[in-house]
Amino acid sequence: MATAVTEEVVDYDEVLERYDPVMGLEVHVELNTATKMFCGCATEFGAEPNSQVCPVCLGLPGALPVVNDKAVESAIRIGLALNCEIATWCRFARKNYFYPDMPKNFQTSQYDEPIAFNGHLDVELEDGTTYRVEIERAHMEEDTGKSLHVGGSTGRIHGAEYSLVDYNRAGIPLIEIVTRPLTGAGGRAPEVAKAYVGALRELLRALGVSDVKMEQGSLRCDANVSLRPKVGDATSEEQAAVPLGTRTETKNVNSLRSVERAVRYEITRQAAILDKGGKITQETRHWHEDTGVTTSGREKSDAEDYRYFPEPDLVPVAPTRETVDALRRTLPEPPGERRRRLQADWGYSDLEMRDVMNAGAVELISETVAAGATPAGARKWWTGELARRANAEGRSVEDFGVTPTHIAELDGLVRDGRLNDSMARQVLEGVLAGEGTPTEVADARGLELVQDDGALEAAVDKVIEANADVAQKVRDGKVQAAGALIGQVMKEMRGQADAGKAREIILAKLTG
Amino acid sequence: MNSDLTRSSAAELAHALGSGELSSVEIVQAHLDRIAAVDADVHSYLHVDGEGALAAARQVDERRAAGEDLHVLAGVPIAVKDVLATKGLPTTCGSKILEGWVPPYDATVVAKLRAAGMPILGKTNMDEFAMGSSTEHSAYGPTHNPWDLTRIPGGSGGGSAAVVAAYEAPLAIGTDTGGSIRQPASVTGTVGVKPTYGGVSRYGLVALASSLDQAGPCTRTVLDAALLHSVIGGHDPLDSTSIDAPVPAVVEAARRADVKGLRVGVIKELGGEGYQAGVRARFDESVALLQEAGAEVVEVSCPSFDYALAAYYLILPSEASSNLAKFDGMRYGARVLPPGIDDPSAEQVMAATRDAGFGDEVKRRIILGTYALSSGYYDAYYGQAQKVRRLIADDFATAFEKVDVLVSPTAPTTAFKLGDKLDDPMSMYLQDVATIPANLAGVPGMSLPSGLADEDGLPTGIQILAPATRDDRLYGVGAALERMLLDRWGAPLLTKAPELSAKGA
C-alpha cells in the first residue's frame, strides 16, 4: 500500500515574507450538448457503464469523427463571454499518448490553433476589489473514458488488482480554458484561484453551456503553482521581472474550497523545499480532499512529447463573422453586472450577497423570488438550512429535489401565518423526504399554527400558575425571564402556536 | 456471353441477370467453385464467406423475381479488401494484431455494396495495414501473381487485383494510399481506379494515412470500374472529408469513350530513368494511340514530383504512427501478455501486444512517423513534407491549366519475383514513385493495361490522372484507349495469362 508521506510545510504568512506565488489555472468544462463531440452518442451522466458508446467514441478501427456543431457554438460563446478573440480558421490536432481509457490512444484536441484566445475575466474578491485574470486560450477537445481501479487501497492504478474502463465519458465535448500566469496576487493567490473558478462557474452557468457540477466532474480544475523569490510588493515592477519558478500541476481539485486549499497547501509545501535549498520537481500532484495535502503523481516534464499534428480526419473549423456576431447576441448579461442589479433589487447587504454567491444560490434565489417568495425568505432557506445540509452531506443544493417553487410556497405558508419557523423546518424535512409539496406535507403531518386565542390564553394561564416564581420575576421587571414561560407555553401547545403571540399574552397578563 | 461465366465482365453479368439468363446464385456459386479451384495457389482471399454470399444472392434473386426495381449491379458478386470493416465478417488488415476481430459495423462502402444487392464473396489479402507494394508484408502469407505464381501481385492491394485477374471475382474493392490500387492493377493486367480524395467515403476504412487513403474499384474493364465507382461514390455525412457533390458521370464517360480534341500531358518527370524498357515502350505506344484517336499530346513538367516520394514517406508514417496507436490489445483483437512478468501493467501488455502483433514493415513506419512528429523534428520533417505536398498540388494545378489529363507509366517495372525486394525497403518504395503524387494532391488516377513487356512477357500499365472531382475524364480516356488496345490485341490482355491449374477441382 502506498503511504502518503506527510511533507513539511511552512507557515503561510512566513512564506509570503520570502516568496511570491504565481498560479496558472486550467479548467476543463464538460459541455451539456445532447450528443458527444464527434459522434451521435448520448451524454447523460451516470448511465449504465459503456451503454453510451458507438464505433466512433470507442475508436473502433475505421470509424471517423464528425464535429458536433452545437459544441463549436458553445465554445465560441464561451470564448466571447471571456472577451476572447475567435479564430476565423482553426483545426483540431491529435495529442498522442497511450492510456487505456483513451480509445484511440490519441486525444482529439486543439494545439496551436485554439478556437478562442487572448481574453480576460474580471473577478471580484471578498473585499470588493477586482482581479483581472488573463485568459490565454479556450480550446475544444474530447473527454477520455473513466478508469475504475479495483482492489488496493488508494483507488489509483498503483496497487489495484484490476481496472475497469467506462467509455461513456469518452468523446464528451470539453472546453479547456487556460489562464496566463496569474501574478501580483501575493498572499491572496488562493483566494484569487477560488474566486476565478467560482466566477467562471457562474459565467458558464449563465451561458447555459454546462452543468458545471464540480462534484460530478463537469467542471474540473488543475492548479499550477510556483514560487519565486520575493523582491518587493507583489504588483511591483521589480517583482514582475523575477523569472518564474518551477511549477507543479495539482489535479483532482474538484470543489471551490479545494481550489483555495490546494493552492495554499502547495505554496507552503514548495516553500519548505526551497527554504532547505531544495529544488521543486516539475510533476503532476494529486489533491486529497480528506487530508488536505497533495501527493506526487507521475513526473511530468516539458520534455513529454505528445507529437501533436493537425487531425487529418476533420476539416478546419471556420466560423464566419456573421455566425460569431449572431452568437455574440445570445450572450447573457455578464454575471457581475447582473449580480449588482439583483443585489439592489433584493435589498441584500454585501455580506448577504456574498453568502448567496458562496452557496452558489443566485439562480435559485432568482427563480424562488420569481415564484413569489420574498427575497429575504428565499435567501434564508437557500443559504441557511439547505446550504448547511449540502455542506454537511458534501452535495449540491440542486441535488436535493427541492425546487424554487417549493421554497416560494414554504415562504408563503410562513408569511400567511400558517406555519412558524420550526414547523416550516419540519415541512421542509418532509419535502426533502419526497413526501410532496410543502402544502401537502403540512396537511399530511397536521402542521398548522393554532389560531384560537382562547386555547393559547388557557395555556398561558396554566403555565403561569405552575411557574409562580418565574412569573413573579417577570412581574418584578425581569422581562427576559418570560422566555422560560414562552417555552413552556409552546410545549403545552405542542409547538403549534405562534411564539410571538404567546409572548404578547404573557407580558400583557403579568405586566399589563 | 462467355461459356465460363467467371470470365464475363460485371457489365455482362449484370445484363444476364437483368434478362433472367442467369441467377445471382449461379454466378456466386461459379465464383466460389473457381476460388476453391485456384485460390490455394493464388492465395488472394483471407476469408471466403460462401454462405453469406449465397444468402445475399438468393435474396437478390427473390427480389428480382418479385419484380422489384434493382440496382444495375444487383446480384453481381464482389470481393472486398480486408482493410474495410464488414459487419459479421473478420477484418484483419493483413495483421496478426487484428486476428479474430469481427467488426460490429459496416464501412460505408460495404453498406453501399450491400444496399445495391451485391453479394460479398470474401475479404482479400493485403500488405499489413496496407504498407507495402507486393502483398508480401501480409501476416497471412503473400498473394501470388496469376500471371506467374513466383511473382508478386503488387500491393498493398495485391489480393483485390489478383482475385479479379484470376477470375475469382468479377469486381473487387481496393484502397489506394500511394498506389495500392493502381500498381497492383498494373502488374496484374487489370484496371484500378483511385477516385478523387473525398469522392468515396472513408468511414470504416481502417486508416493507414487518413489524408491519403481512398477506396476504389479493381476490375477487368473500364466500364466495370465506372459501374462500381458509381455504387460506392458519393457524399457520406459520417466522413467529414467526404465531398458533398454528386458522383461524377463516370459511366456515361466510359460509354462515350471519346478523346477527340482532348489535351493529354505526358509527365516529363515520370518515365525516364528507373523505368523498365518494356514498360516505357508500351506506354509510348498507348500515347501514340491516343494521338491517333484525335487527342492533342504535349509534354508537361511537374518539377516537384521529384520530391513526392520523400514527402510521402514522412506524411504517411506520421499519420500511420498515430492511426495505429489504437491497436494495443486493450479492447479488441489480439492481446499478448509479456513473458516472464507475473503481474503486467497495462503499458506492458500494450507493448507486448504491439511487439508480437505488428510485422517489421509496420514497426519501421511507426518508428519513422513517431520520429518525424517528435518535438524538435516536426518542422524539419512533417512540416517540410507538408510544404512539398503543397508544391505538388501547385504543379498539378499548373499542369491542368494546360491539359485535361496527365499520363505516365503506372509502375516503373513489371511484377518482380517474390522475395526480391523484401530486404530492400527503398527499392520497394520506388514502386510507387509514379502513383504517389496523385495521393498527395488528392487528384483521381486510373491504371489500365497497356500490354506486355517484351523482355519478360508480363503486364504493364498506363496511368491517367485528372483534376480533382473530374474522375469522369479518367473513364473517357481509359475506355477509349482500352477499345483501341483491344482492337490491336484481338482479345483482352488477361486471355494471354497462363491457365491456372485447377488443383482443388
SS3 A496: coil
Q: Work out the mean pLDDT of chain B and round it to a whole number.
A: 96
- Within a 10 A sphere around the Cβ of A448, how many other Cβ atoms? 14
Q: Are A83 and A133 in contact (CB under 8 A)?
A: no
**pLDDT tens-digit readout, A309-352:** 999 999 999 999 999 999 999 999 988 888 889 999 999 998 89
- pLDDT at position B139 is 98
SS3 B149: coil
Extract the C-alpha cell encoding A298: 507521475
Peptide bond into B156 cis (omega under 30): yes
Q: Are B86 and B110 in contact (CB under 8 A)?
A: yes
Q: Which of A203, A216, A204 is nearest to A172 (CA)?
A: A216
Is residue A1 pLDDT above 50, yes or no?
A: no
Picking from A58, A104, A105 by the largest number of B CB atoms within 10 A of its own CB, the best residue to mutate is A105
- pLDDT at position B503 is 52
Extract the C-alpha cell encoding B503: 488443383
Q: Which of B308, B442, B317, B309 is nearest to B377 (CA)?
A: B317
Q: Work out the mean pLDDT of chain A and round it to a whole number.
A: 90
Say yes or no: A66 contacts chain B, CB-CB below 8 A. Answer: yes
This prediction has a pTM of 0.87
Q: How far apart are CA A346 and CA A378, in angstroms?
A: 10
Picking from B240, B332, B353, B390 by the largest number of A CB atoms within 10 A of its own CB, the best residue to mutate is B240
Q: CB-side exposure of B392: number of CA atoms within 13 Å?
A: 25
Q: Which of B24, B156, B186, B450 is labelled catalytic?
A: B156
What φ, ψ does residue A254 adopt, rounded to 5°? -120, 35
Nearest residue of A to residue B371 by CA position? A307
Give the contacts of A249 (CB within 8 A, at least 6 positions apart): A26, A222, A223, A224, A283, A284, A285, A300
Is residue B23 pLDDT above 90, yes or no?
A: yes
- pLDDT at position A5 is 57
What φ, ψ does residue A486 adopt, rounded to 5°? -60, -45
Query: What percent of chain B stands above pLDDT 90?
Result: 94
Q: Are A128 and A122 in contact (CB under 8 A)?
A: no
Q: Are A482 and A489 in contact (CB under 8 A)?
A: no
β-strands B78-81, B120-124: how paired?
parallel
Is B211 annotated as catalytic? no
Give the contacts of B282 (CB within 8 A, at least 6 positions apart): B450, B451, B452, B453, B460, B462
Q: Decide if B204 and A106 are in contact by the 8 Å CB cutoff.
A: no
Say yes or no: A63 contacts chain B, CB-CB below 8 A. Answer: yes
Q: How far apart are CA A447 and CA A425, in angstroms?
A: 11
- pLDDT at position B94 is 98
- pLDDT at position B505 is 38
- pLDDT at position A151 is 78
Distance from CA of B168 to the nearest CA of A (A): 26
Is B24 annotated as catalytic? no
Q: Are A25 and A176 in contact (CB under 8 A)?
A: no
| Strands, E assignment, B331-372 | none
Say yes or no: A145 contacts chain B, CB-CB below 8 A. Answer: no
- Within a 10 A sphere around the Cβ of B371, how many other Cβ atoms? 16
The dihedral of CA A331, A336, A339, A340: what is its sign? Answer: negative
SS3 B132: coil
What residue ranges define each of the domains in chain B, with the CATH number in brackets?
A: 8-305+389-496 (3.90.1300.10)
Q: Which of B169, B279, B281, B171 is nearest to B218 (CA)?
A: B171
Give the contacts of B339 (CB within 8 A, at least 6 positions apart): B352
Chain B residues in contact with chain A using a Cβ-Cβ cutoff of 8 Å: 84-85, 91, 93, 98, 101, 103-105, 107, 202-207, 209-211, 237-241, 318-319, 321-322, 325-328, 330-332, 345-347, 350, 370, 373-375, 378, 382
β-strands B172-175, B215-219: how paired?
antiparallel
The dihedral of CA B309, B310, B313, B319: what is its sign? Answer: negative
- pLDDT at position B1 is 47
Q: Are A227 and A19 in contact (CB under 8 A)?
A: yes
Distance from CA of A171 to the nearest CA of B (A): 15
SS3 A357: helix
Place of cell 467488426: B103
Q: How far apart are CA B181 and CA B198, in angstroms?
A: 16
| Strands, E assignment, B177-307 | 191-194, 215-219, 263-267, 296-300
Is residue A398 pLDDT above 80, yes or no?
A: no
**pLDDT tens-digit readout, A181-222:** 999 999 999 999 999 999 999 899 999 999 999 988 999 999
Count of CB pairs separated by less than 8 Å, A with B: 101
Mean pLDDT to the nearest integer, B455-461: 98
**pLDDT tens-digit readout, B141-193:** 999 999 999 999 999 999 999 999 999 999 999 999 999 999 999 999 999 99
- Within a 10 A sphere around the Cβ of B99, how many other Cβ atoms? 13
Q: Decide if B322 and A307 are in contact by the 8 Å CB cutoff.
A: yes
What residue ranges define each of the domains in chain A, with the CATH number in brackets?
A: 12-326 (no CATH), 335-445 (no CATH), 453-511 (1.10.10)
Q: Are A113 and A57 in contact (CB under 8 A)?
A: no
Alpha-carbon radius of gyration of chain A: 28
Q: Helix axis angle, A453-466 relative to A482-492, nearest 10°?
A: 120
Q: How far apart are CA B127 and CA A474, in angstroms?
A: 103
Q: Are A291 and A75 in contact (CB under 8 A)?
A: no
Q: How far apart are CA B225 and CA B123, in angstroms?
A: 19
Mean pLDDT to the nearest integer, B347-368: 96
Q: CA B435, B437, B439 angle in degrees (round to 5)?
A: 80
Q: Are B237 and B24 in contact (CB under 8 A)?
A: no
Q: Are B173 and B109 in contact (CB under 8 A)?
A: yes
Beta bridge partners of B78: B120
Q: How far apart are CA A384 and CA A370, in angstroms?
A: 19
Among A189-203, A353-367, B380-394, B415-429, the minimum mean pLDDT is found in A353-367
Is residue B2 pLDDT above 70, yes or no?
A: no
Say yes or no: A325 contacts chain B, CB-CB below 8 A. Answer: no
**pLDDT tens-digit readout, A28-47:** 999 999 999 999 999 999 89
- pLDDT at position A2 is 42
| Strands, E assignment, A87-230 | 93-96, 106-109, 116-124, 130-142, 146-150, 162-166, 173-179, 219-229
Mean pLDDT to the nearest integer, A235-252: 93
What φ, ψ does residue B217 adopt, rounded to 5°? -80, 145
Q: How far apart are CA B6 and CA B502, in angstroms?
A: 14
Q: How far apart are CA A441 and CA B59, in angstroms?
A: 65
- pLDDT at position A422 is 83
For A64, the closest of B211, B238, B347 (CB atoms) is B238
Mean pLDDT to the nearest integer, A52-73: 97
- pLDDT at position B277 is 97
